[in-house]
């Protein structure tokens, strides 16, 4: 589970989450208790809960309907998934199993390369290297059972080879390395880096060279993500504030997205 590797060390975490959820007043929150509870661990591998997860996907599409016009006003070069029924990730367990995932632990809304941009990578498509939307860099909004996540995904497991390569190329240059580091340090203290199946807070890096040394041994089998988690009761994701919150974070993440995005 991206962004929660550190938290998962605690065996009683799920009990704490359930107790905390009972104490939260969700009246003004964009996502309600039932949205988070759709991903309770006992439901993850059970198709009987597909309808609950579908309600989360629908709610993310509600969010997109008010967020996308704001994104368009910024004229950012990001797009929905080329197929509308994949604007969010799958909520159906049967579909997840088709991709060798036996559980659905989260559903996300994502923005990335356009259909036209993806067409330029088709000649490199193979069984070992998929060039579909999710295998490229994305801005992503994730709901799981204990939080809401805002993230820049350079690459999922076995994905993002072009954009990861672009990152590595830029980091070889001391000037770009410093620039990237300063952009990351501009993120707030809640941001983490999920890299090679380990999790570290961005603020822990004191120099650009330290970040360079940490990320130079990138493994394509693992995720490479920068992100932050927001608790369900946080006013920043209330109905009145969530769009502005996301736009504020995207404002800082989009320049990184644009810099790391590989272009043919």
Instruction: Identify whether the C-beta of residue 112 lies closer than 8 Å to the C-beta of residue 79.
Output: yes
Q: Does domain 7-260 have CATH number 3.30.930.20?
A: yes
Read off the DSSP letter of residue 103: -
pLDDT (tens digit, 9 = 90+) per residue, 32-58? 999 999 999 999 999 999 999 999 999
Q: At what angle do helices 50-74 and 242-260 cross, to 10 degrees?
A: 70
Q: How far apart are CA 209 and CA 202, in angstroms?
A: 13
pLDDT of residue 127: 67
Instruction: Identify whether the C-beta of residue 257 lies closer than 8 Å to the C-beta of residue 183.
Output: no
Report residues of the chain scoring pLDDT below 50.
Answer: 1-13, 16
CA-only gyration radius of the chain, Å? 18
Q: Under DSSP, is residue 219 helix (H, G, I), strand (E, B) or coil?
A: coil
pLDDT of residue 25: 93
Q: How far apart are CA 113 and CA 223, in angstroms?
A: 18
User: Which tokens in the block code for residue 170?
Assistant: 């830029």
CA torsion sign for 108, 112, 118, 121 is negative
pLDDT of residue 99: 76
Global confidence as pTM: 0.91
Instruction: Identify whether the C-beta of residue 111 lies closer than 8 Å to the C-beta of residue 78.
Output: yes
pLDDT of residue 125: 78
Q: Under DSSP, is residue 119 helix (H, G, I), strand (E, B) or coil?
A: helix
For the chain, the domains span: 7-260
pLDDT of residue 23: 87
**Alpha carbons within 13 A on the beta-carbon side of 192:** 19
């Amino acid at each position: 589970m991206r962004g929660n590797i550190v938290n998962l060390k605690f065996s009683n975490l799920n009990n704490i989450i359930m107790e905390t959820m009972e104490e939260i007043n969700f009246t003004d929150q964009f996502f309600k208790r039932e949205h988070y509870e759709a991903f309770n661990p006992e439901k993850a591998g059970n198709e009987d809960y597909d309808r609950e997860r579908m309600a989360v996907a629908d709610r993310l599409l509600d969010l997109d309907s008010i967020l996308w016009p704001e994104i368009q006003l910024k004229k950012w070069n990001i797009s929905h998934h080329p197929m509308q029924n994949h604007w969010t990730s799958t909520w159906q367990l049967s579909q997840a199993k088709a991709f060798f995932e036996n559980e659905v632990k989260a559903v996300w809304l994502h923005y990335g390369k356009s259909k036209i941009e993806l067409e330029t990578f088709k000649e490199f498509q193979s069984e070992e290297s998929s060039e579909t939307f999710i295998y490229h860099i994305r801005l992503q909004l994730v709901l799981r059972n204990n939080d809401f996540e805002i993230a820049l995904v350079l690459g999922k497991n076995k994905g993002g080879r072009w954009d990861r390569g672009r990152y590595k190329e830029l980091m070889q240059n001391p000037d770009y390395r410093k620039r990237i580091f300063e952009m990351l340090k501009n993120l707030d203290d809640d941001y983490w880096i999920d890299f090679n199946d380990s999790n570290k807070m961005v603020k822990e890096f004191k120099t650009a060279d330290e970040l360079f040394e940490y990320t130079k041994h990138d493994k394509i089998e693992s995720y490479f993500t920068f992100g932050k988690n927001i608790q369900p009761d946080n006013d920043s994701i209330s109905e009145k504030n969530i769009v502005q919150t996301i736009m504020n974070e995207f404002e800082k993440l989009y320049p990184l997205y644009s810099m790391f995005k590989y272009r043919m």
